[in-house]
Amino acid sequence: DKGQGFVYHVNNMKHAAALARFRLGSACLNTETLRAGLPRSERHCMLCDMQVREDELHVFECPAYADLRTEFEDVVSTIDSTSATMDDDMRVMMNKGNDAHAWQRLAMFIYRVMKFRATALAAQADDR
């Protein structure tokens, strides 16, 4: 049976909105927010020293989110961007079928990542 989408399973609107923005590529990551001023290849993550583009995939690699990935390891994992199966791995992780608990945990993870990111970037700006 074809199940319901994540909106059916995620009742917390902040979590659902964060997951929707993330899945649509509009989660305010640097790959989008810096597009007016920098080439895509230079829109790096400001929370780590990996010197890679900050996009949705980077959330699953960035050392800054390691503790959150550990806390939510039941629904997320680290994805190796050099792997030949990276696209398939990401697609599987971002589609929880009809599992309401998994959708809720994934949405909470994305919400917490975005909240952590905003707080950390604000702290960096205050330090400047």
Q: For residue range 39-58, list pLDDT tens digits in order.
A: 777 788 899 999 988 888 88
Q: Rounded CA gap, 114 and 21, in Å?
A: 10
The yes-or-no verdict on residue 10 having pLDDT over 90 is: yes
pTM: 0.87
Tokens 């980077």, located at residue: 58
Read off the pLDDT band of 15 (50, 70, 90).
Answer: very high
Six-digit token string for 84: 């030949």
In contact, 90 and 57? CB cutoff 8 Å: yes
Question: What pLDDT score does 2 carry?
Answer: 57
Read off the pLDDT band of 63 (50, 70, 90).
Answer: very high
In contact, 119 and 113? CB cutoff 8 Å: no
- At 28 the three-state DSSP class reads coil
User: 43: Cβ–Cβ under 8 A, 6 or more apart, which residues?
Assistant: 30, 31, 33, 34, 35, 53, 54
Rounded to an integer, the average pLDDT of 24-30 is 84
Rounded to an integer, the average pLDDT of 86-105 is 89
The burial of 15, by beta-carbon neighbours within 10 Å (0-12 exposed, 13-18 middle, 19 or more buried), is given as: buried
Rounded to an integer, the average pLDDT of 25-51 is 81
Compare 79 and 100 and report the one with higher pLDDT. 100
